[in-house]
Amino acid sequence: MRDVFNFSAGPSMLPEEVLLEAQKEMLNCLGSGMSALEMSHRSKTYDAIHNEAIALFKELFNVDDSKYYVLFLQGGATTQFSAVPLNLLTEKNGKKADYIVTGNFASKAYEEACRYGDIKCLANTKESKYSYIPDVDTLEYRENTDYVHITSNNTIFGTRYTKFPNVNNLVADMSSNILSEPVDVNKFKLIYAGAQKNVAPSGLTIVVVRKDAVDNCEPLPFTPILMQYRTQASKDSLYNTPCTYSTYIAMLNFRYLKKFGGVEAIYKQNKYKAGLLYDYLDNSNFYTNIVRKEDRSIMNVTFVTPNADLDAKFVKEAGQNGLVSLKGHKLVGGLRASIYNSMPVEGVEKLISFMKKFEMENK
């Protein structure tokens, strides 16, 4: 059992088994006599890593290989805020897209898209401090849009979509809940996710995009070659040097998740972990969570103590007890426990034990 549990919103914990395997292979990865940190991305060994990582992701995420490309890219989800409109907006439809803004990163994605076309904000929950997800069935989606964009889990504010818009051109930023629960990929035109929360170290970005959206559409004329999905798809995500070590760790993590029982099994554990923490919060008169219950994230649990001074004291003392990175995002303050796939149940139990003790001592 670990001495330190990392509740960071990202980069986050990785399974201990994955880290030990990477440690064992640090100087001799897959019998190559080299570290995965130093091998060429054109080598046979890396080629095997790259292909296995993509194949395992497709298996775990139930991606139909005949309908979707899976791209392993760079730049984080923030680069996709630009790449999505640059690749998906079309002159035919008047370069139109609809966005639902439910948090800081959703807002940034919307603002970036506005640079490239006719972009409409269908709903914005900022006035409520992003404490809920709007009813997607009541929103007025425009006809003939190139896509509708959502952020499926809001890392900073601790909300999550439990129901998706019923449209055939849905795009989702799934950076903070990719592979944490079952998703019907066929409902989406495109999904993207930074890897640093549930998959691997930062740097790697996964894009799942419908083939017809790549093969039958022209990117906007000023789209950089490297940001064109068709460029990356035609070169199997190897147009330039990829994030080799992040891909290697992703491969190990996918192996681990498959052995664990896949997404269904980890979802069961994720719900259990979140349930433990929310149950404690709901029965406490000391801690407060403002997110509407039906919209609570099972990845990022936000809460506060009675005042900011106690919040700061909580972070300090938690760290002294091996519970680190519990400070809330600088935009909102307070406290946040990110309990991604790799956070074991024991970590959440230890956090709750500390919270009980802290509450008793600071009432």
The model's pLDDT over 284-312, given as tens digits with 9 standing for 90+, comes to: 999 999 999 999 999 999 999 999 999 99
User: Domain 17-258: which topology?
Assistant: Aspartate Aminotransferase; domain 2 (3.40.640)
Q: Which residue has the tokens 């681990």?
A: 256
Question: Over the stretch 13-32, which tens digit does the pLDDT of each residue have?
Answer: 999 999 999 999 999 999 99
The token duo for 173 is 């930023």
The token duo for 262 is 């896949």
Cα 12 from Cα 195, distance rounded (Å)? 10
Is the CB of residue 334 less than 8 Å from the CB of residue 310?
Answer: no
Mean pLDDT of the chain: 96
Q: What angle do CA 57, 339, 256 make, to 5 degrees?
A: 35
DSSP secondary structure code for residue 27 in this structure: S
Cα 84 from Cα 190, distance rounded (Å)? 8
Q: Residue ranges of the domains in the chain? A: 17-258, 262-362
pLDDT band at 172 (very low <50, low <70, confident <90, very high): very high
262-362 is classed in which CATH architecture?
A: Alpha-Beta Complex (3.90)
pLDDT band at 43 (very low <50, low <70, confident <90, very high): very high
Is the CB of residue 157 less than 8 Å from the CB of residue 332?
Answer: yes
Q: Is the pTM of this model over 0.75?
A: yes
Question: Ramachandran region of residue 16, left (φ > 0), alpha (ψ -120 to 50) or beta?
Answer: alpha
What is the pLDDT, as a whole number, of residue 1? Answer: 66
DSSP string, 277-292: HHHHHHT-SS-B--S-
- The percentage of the chain sitting over the pLDDT mark of 90, rounded to a whole number, equals 98
Prior bond of 15 cis (ω within 30°):
no
- Residues 217-239: b if buried by 16+ CB within 10 A, e if exposed: bebbeebeeebbbbbbbeebbee
Question: Over the stretch 212-271, which tens digit does the pLDDT of each residue have?
Answer: 999 988 999 999 999 999 999 999 999 999 999 999 999 999 999 999 999 999 999 999
